[in-house]
């Protein structure tokens, strides 16, 4: 077994363990912290896959922005969440059944499928190639994504804003 494979297995165990903790923890704050661990391991997978730019983006956006946003929301809504509150609804066993079946099907497909692998190498200047791809072939989705982000920004401000007193 090579070093890469050992690193991968360690990352995989941490990722799956943290993800299980995210959905099972009764305390939503622990879930948020475990989610950060899981997002870090995903960045590790990106490094193993030689997508270094994406690994940096993953740490900056997911760990730096989204996880902090989630922790903020947890802090703002913590009052109602007693430690004894149930974590799952009544249909959790149906969900578990469905999820186990789905996992079995997906793993079966992944193992039996015949992937057309290529042994080409990653471009040495992958980041500049990525930038050029974004601004030539994918320039329309790129612009749409920027409009989407602007809409999300304005929408979030309007939805979460404290309403003026006279409107209530």
Partner 1 sequence: MIPLSWYLIVAAILFCIGLYGALARRNAIGILMGIELMLNAVNINLVAFWRYITPEVLTGQVFAIFVITVAAAEATIGLALIISIFRNRETVIVEDVDMMKW
Q: Of residues 87-116, which lie at the interface with partner 1 (CB under 8 A)? A: 87-89, 91-92, 95-96, 98-100, 102-103, 106-107, 110-111, 115-116
What track of x and - describes contact with partner 1 for positions 136 through 165 (by CB under 8 A)?
--x--x---x--xx-xxx-xxx-xx-x---
Please give the full DSSP string across 10-62, using - where no structure is assigned: HHHHHHHHHHHHHHH-SSHHHHHHHHHHHHHHHHHHHHHTT-HHHHHHIIIII
Of the candidates 133, 115, 116, the residue with the CA atom closest to the CA atom of residue 53? 133
| Out of 10, 30, 61, 165, the residue judged to bind partner 1 by CB under 8 A | 61
Size of the site for partner 1 (CB under 8 A): 87
For partner 1, the closer CB: 85 or 164? 85
Distance (Å, rounded) from C-alpha 66 to C-alpha 151? 17
CB of 165 to partner 1, least distance (A): 13
Which of 118, 124, 165, 167 touches partner 1 by CB under 8 A?
A: 118
Binding to partner 1 in span 120-139, by CB under 8 A: 120-123, 126, 129-130, 133-134, 138
- Binding string, residues 21-60; x marks residues near partner 1 by CB under 8 A: -xx----x--xx--x--xx--x--xx-xxxx-xx--xx--
Evaluate the CA torsion angle 105, 108, 110, 115 in order and state its sign.
negative
CB 46 within 8 A of CB 57: no
Q: Under the criterion CB under 8 A, does residue 75 sit at the interface with partner 1?
A: no
Q: What is the dihedral of CA 96, 98, 101, 106, to 10 degrees?
A: -110
């Amino acid at each position: 077994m090579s070093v890469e494979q050992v690193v991968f297995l360690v990352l995989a165990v941490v990722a799956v363990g943290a993800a299980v903790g995210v959905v099972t923890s009764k305390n939503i704050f622990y879930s948020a912290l475990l989610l950060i661990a899981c997002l870090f391991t995903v960045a590790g997978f990106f490094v193993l896959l030689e997508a270094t730019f994406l690994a940096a983006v993953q740490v900056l956006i997911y760990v730096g922005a989204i996880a902090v946003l989630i922790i903020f929301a947890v802090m703002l809504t913590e009052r109602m969440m007693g430690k004894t509150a149930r974590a799952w609804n009544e249909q959790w066993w149906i969900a578990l059944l469905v999820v186990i079946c789905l996992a079995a099907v997906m793993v079966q497909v992944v193992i039996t499928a015949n992937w057309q692998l290529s042994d080409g190498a990653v471009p040495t200047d992958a980041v500049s190639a990525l930038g050029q791809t974004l601004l030539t072939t994918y320039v329309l989705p790129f612009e749409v994504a920027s409009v989407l982000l602007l809409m999300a920004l304005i929408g979030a401000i309007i939805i979460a804003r404290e309403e003026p007193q006279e409107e209530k």
